Amino acid sequence: MKQHLYPRDLAHYIFNNCERFAKDLVFPEDESLIAAELGLPDIDAMEGLLSTCYQASLMTHEGLNVSFRLILADPEAFEGLDGSPDGVQKLEFAEYMPLSASSLRRISPAASFARSIIAARFDPEIGPEIWGIIHTGPRWLHTSHGGRGSAPKLPDALVVKVMGPGVLEVSLGGKTLVSLSEGKVHGQSLNVFRAAWLQDFFAPIRQERHEIHKEAMQGAEEDWKELDSELTKIIDQQMMKRVIAAMRAFRHGGTLIFVPPDRASELMQVNPYLTMKYKFAESEGRGRFRTLIVDIMNTLASLPSDDSHRVGWFEYQQTSDPRITVLDEAIFETSHLISSLSVADGAVVLTKRFEILGFSAEIHCETSEVSQIAKALDLEANKCRFESVIGVGTRHSSAYRICRELKDALAIVVSQEGNVQFVRWMNDKLVFWEHQGSFDFSNVN
């Protein structure tokens, strides 16, 4: 039987990979010196800190699992930082306390995982101690959950996230280094949203929206600003992140199937691929996302500005125009609508336009037997490892079958545990990507 890994293994993984974490910097060959340059404690202190956090993760508080974020930095590191939402708010205790599993358990409810960080430091005489709470607000979640607003900057210090029993993630500032989950140490995971193939998959739809926007621009009475070509790509990504985050939070699991728009009529009728128990009639409501995103493009381009540069994601984040605020909220609600449909048994079927064709879809493709699938080891699937599908659940095997049959489709599968897979036919083989580790944010509030 395979041995399970624990905080000691996690600490040694970090130290053994320090040079890779700091690949853009020049440090001595001694790994301990590299760790010091990165602001990490020595190996024994690191192991003790991770072990304490691990023990705290196994505890409960009033029937709920303990979860928290902890940053290892002196109080002075937070001087001059504005309060949330753009910065952070430092609350320093009048009396510091020793860092222990029980103290982390007691403080964790007051330091909400989504909005605050427990602040700790190493005292050379008494060891690790908790000195306060840093309030960050929830914007840091936008990287994985989607949304407007940039995350407040934190010092480049060690951050330990405790997200469930035996589930730890270690970061350096905003950069994830490694995680421990289910007795396994995982290195830096793939962020599928950075993959070129995913951008190419949705590129025709973005071009379609730009054509609609250009027509509105030509008919406008006033001059509009040019839009950055990356804007709608980022909004699409934020939308998908919000859907996935909400699906994780439901703790039910679900499947999204994206197909080209020209397949919509085929799949709405009797076909050999799938049967939707609940189908939506063609209407504005079914295709609301495209309307919303084109409205955002038109509104953002028409906003008055003294700048001559193109309008993009930064302006979208920073504007306080009430029309943009309402449209962004509408996109947020659309993402929750899609994720709520995924709770019903079966898949949610959408076009690349995010047009909702229906839900509770039963996938057929019985003649398509999938015995193995390629696991992508990099974003573009240039390196893969073939794995057997024996033992995988019905949800995953169904997604594999339809992507083998509909080679122009994309499936996103979220398990009950919060693991996320992207599945598609690529380079003459069936491929899946494990996205962003596999962590469950269901207790985030």
Segment 132-159 shows an average pLDDT of: 71
**Per-residue model confidence (pLDDT) at position 386:** 93
- Pairing mode, strands 347-351 and 356-363: antiparallel
**Would you place residue 314 in the very low, low, confident or very high pLDDT band (cuts 50, 70, 90)?**
confident
| Domains, the chain, ordered by start | 7-186 (no CATH), 192-434 (3.40.1700.10)
**Per-residue model confidence (pLDDT) at position 371:** 87
AA letter at 60:
T
**Per-residue model confidence (pLDDT) at position 83:** 60
Whether pLDDT at 242 is above 60: yes
Answer whether 269's CB lies under 8 Å from 332's CB: no
**Per-residue model confidence (pLDDT) at position 332:** 87
| Helices of type H across 58-186 | 101-107, 142-145
**Per-residue model confidence (pLDDT) at position 416:** 81
**Per-residue model confidence (pLDDT) at position 442:** 34
Whether pLDDT at 232 is above 70: yes
More confident residue, 104 or 307: 104
Report the C-alpha gap between 279 and 360 in whole angstroms.
Answer: 9
Q: Is 39 left (phi over 0), alpha (psi -120 to 50) or beta?
A: left
**Per-residue model confidence (pLDDT) at position 428:** 93
Whether pLDDT at 444 is above 70: no
Phi first, then psi: give them for residue 106, nearest 5 degrees. -70, -35
**Per-residue model confidence (pLDDT) at position 4:** 83
**Per-residue model confidence (pLDDT) at position 238:** 85
**Per-residue model confidence (pLDDT) at position 180:** 84
Whether pLDDT at 156 is above 90: no
Query: Taking all residues of the chain, what is their mean pLDDT, rounded to a whole number?
Result: 85
Whether pLDDT at 441 is above 50: no
Per residue in 368-407, pLDDT tens? 778 899 999 889 999 999 999 888 888 999 999 999 999 9
Per DSSP, 277 falls in state E
Strand, helix or coil at 116?
Answer: strand
**Per-residue model confidence (pLDDT) at position 113:** 84
More confident residue, 282 or 309: 282
Answer whether 346's CB lies under 8 Å from 273's CB: no
Per residue in 62-87, pLDDT tens? 888 899 999 999 999 887 666 656 67
AA letter at 218:
Q
**Per-residue model confidence (pLDDT) at position 309:** 76
**Would you place residue 114 in the very low, low, confident or very high pLDDT band (cuts 50, 70, 90)?**
confident
